[in-house]
Amino acid sequence: MTDRVVLAYSGGLDTSVAIGWIADATGAEVIAVAVDVGQGGEDLEVIRQRALDCGAVEAYVADARDEFAEEYCMPALQANGLYQDKYPLVSGLSRPVIVKHLVAAAREFGATTVSHGCTGKGNDQVRFEVGITSIAPDLKCIAPVRDLALTRDKAIEYAGRHQLPIETTKSNPFSIDQNVWGRAIETGFLEDIWNAPTKDVYNYTDDPAFPPVPDEVIITFKRGIPVAIDGEAVTPLQAIEQLNKRAGAHGIGRIDIVEDRLVGIKSREVYEAPGAIALIEAHRELENVTLEREQARFKRGVEQKWGELVYDGMWSSPLKRSLDVFIQDTQEHVNGDVRMVLHGGRATVTGRRSDTGLYDFNLATYDEGDAFDQSAARGFIEIYGLAAKQAAAREARLKG
């Protein structure tokens, strides 16, 4: 039986050429796998037919938008997942769901190898290959650009020579990866980190310098998941899509960062994630109301490590799974409403309410009805500062 290779297929030039390139280099049949994670663009059926026209023996397509939103974006929201405190893991979150479908296709079609279109310099090669071997250790991985010397010039020449049904002349100065959680832009003039992004970099967001009138939104959460917007029930996907539109209109979620790649180099990246940033801002504020103090302090360290693991392609690692359990436990009482005003590049929280919160008006107020026993503070401070007081006394004695 002829060996088979499953290829992560986007429908673009490089992966279209990779179908024949892999077949020529390995003698294997190629199964193209396209996964919709809300990136927009062409219809999946059009992409499926293109893969077949370019020589794939099978084409597997999956609408994974709801799956991606519910099983990947929502855990990231509950974790307030931001790499280097800024980047909401746009690409890092989509790779595990794509990997899941690549492995499913490999099993269905009897493939022994999985292929992706990543270079040898980026994070995605790690995310794909570690992700694949973490759930299917028997599968092999190849990367045509990295392993089979498929350059862009060769791809254009190959497509022309074989008359592949793919556009080869359109030039885009940027490398772009996008899904419903956000959009990542790199390369081109952005590689000079002194250059400011120009207007053509952005697509998900409008210029925050010229915003429309302020937009007030109320987001309702249950166990850390948005379940309604302005009182209307929503699915996770609908919540992200609605806030992408509303927050994006105000230029919210633009990020320009020099980040530390897993492979050891620094890379300048520009991101747009209006819905993700607005949701994380609201979720964090609701946690301020509902999480116990020490639990909240500890969670911040867990969030940082969780984000690093996802960024580094360790979605299925034992540590990531353990942190997931902790994060899920913290979300039991993260219920309630957060009111925000979207305007001029900012999502500003103006109100919060929760039936499961720890905020007690009678303890917090300085007016009539104050239930806090201020007479207990003196003894508390004496005991709390006792160890530091003893240490200070020792230092004074030794210096004397």
Among residues 4, 48, 65, 95, the one annotated as catalytic is 95
Degrees, nearest 5: CA angle 324-327-333: 140
Cβ-contact 271, 301 below 8 angstroms: no
324 included as an active-site residue: no
Angle between helical axes of 293-311 and 318-330 (0-180°, round to 10): 150
Q: What is the mean pLDDT of residues 369-379?
A: 87
Amino acid 209: pLDDT: 94
Among residues 63, 85, 152, 175, the one annotated as catalytic is 175
**CATH T-level topology, domain 361-399:** 1.20.5
Amino acid 171: pLDDT: 61
The answer to whether the annotation marks 200 as part of a ligand binding site is: no
Coil/strand/helix, residue 233:
strand
The answer to whether the annotation marks 60 as part of a ligand binding site is: no
Would you state the torsion angle of the CA atoms of residues 345, 85, 172, 200, taken in this order, to the nearest 10 degrees? 10
267 included as an active-site residue: no
Degrees, nearest 5: CA angle 316-182-77: 55
Q: Which residue has the tokens 């990231």?
A: 76
91 included as an active-site residue: no
The answer to whether the annotation marks 123 as part of a ligand binding site is: yes
Amino acid 1: pLDDT: 63
Q: What is the mean pLDDT of residues 168-193?
A: 85
**Beta strand spans in 223-345 (E):** 225-229, 232-233, 254-260, 266-272, 336-343
| CA distance linking residue 358 with residue 70, whole number of Å | 27
Return the closest-CA partner of residue 73 out of 214, 254, 237, 257.
Answer: 237
Q: Is the pLDDT of residue 347 over 60?
A: yes
The answer to whether the annotation marks 8 as part of a ligand binding site is: yes
The answer to whether the annotation marks 195 as part of a ligand binding site is: no
Question: Residue 328 contacts by C-beta under 8 Å, 6 or more apart in sequence?
Answer: 78
Question: Residue 79 contacts by C-beta under 8 Å, 6 or more apart in sequence?
Answer: 302, 303, 306, 307, 323, 327
The answer to whether the annotation marks 119 as part of a ligand binding site is: yes
Return the closest-CA partner of residue 150 out of 26, 266, 35.
Answer: 26
Q: Is the pLDDT of residue 125 over 80?
A: yes
Question: Residue 219 contacts by C-beta under 8 Å, 6 or more apart in sequence?
Answer: 226, 228, 229, 239, 243, 279, 282, 337, 338, 340
Concatenated DSSP letters for 106-163? HHHHT-SEEE----SSSSHHHHHHHHHHHH-TT-EEE-HHHHS---HHHHHHHHHHTT
Degrees, nearest 5: CA angle 123-124-128: 130
Q: Is the pLDDT of residue 172 over 90?
A: no
Among residues 4, 14, 36, 115, the one annotated as catalytic is 14
Q: Which two tokens stand for residue 20?
A: 């024949």
The answer to whether the annotation marks 203 as part of a ligand binding site is: no
Q: Which two tokens stand for residue 234?
A: 């929503």
**CATH T-level topology, domain 4-172:** Rossmann fold (3.40.50)
Burial class for 104, CB neighbours closer than 10 Å (0-12, 13-18, 19+) = middle
CATH of 176-353, one of 1.10.3720.10, 3.90.1260.10, 3.40.50.300, 3.30.70.100: 3.90.1260.10
List, for residues 80-103, the tens digit of each pLDDT value.
Answer: 999 999 999 999 999 999 999 999
Give residue 365's pLDDT band: very low, low, confident or very high (50, 70, 90): confident
Cβ-contact 22, 7 below 8 angstroms: yes
Q: What is the mean pLDDT of residues 316-330?
A: 97
Question: Residues spanned by CATH 3.90.1260.10 within the chain?
Answer: 176-353
Q: Is the pLDDT of residue 40 over 90?
A: no
Question: Residues spanned by CATH 3.40.50.620 within the chain?
Answer: 4-172
Concatenated DSSP letters for 54-115? TT-SEEEEEE-HHHHIIIIIHHHHHTT--BTTTB--HHHHHHHHHHHHHHHHHHHHT-SEEE
346 included as an active-site residue: no
Amino acid 156: pLDDT: 83
Question: Residues spanned by CATH 1.20.5.470 within the chain?
Answer: 361-399
| CA distance linking residue 223 with residue 395, whole number of Å | 49
Degrees, nearest 5: CA angle 111-117-120: 115
The answer to whether the annotation marks 386 as part of a ligand binding site is: no
Among residues 36, 65, 124, 346, the one annotated as catalytic is 124
The answer to whether the annotation marks 41 as part of a ligand binding site is: no
The answer to whether the annotation marks 16 as part of a ligand binding site is: yes
Q: Is the pLDDT of residue 288 over 80?
A: yes
Q: CB-hemisphere CA count at 13 Å for 213?
A: 1
The answer to whether the annotation marks 43 as part of a ligand binding site is: no
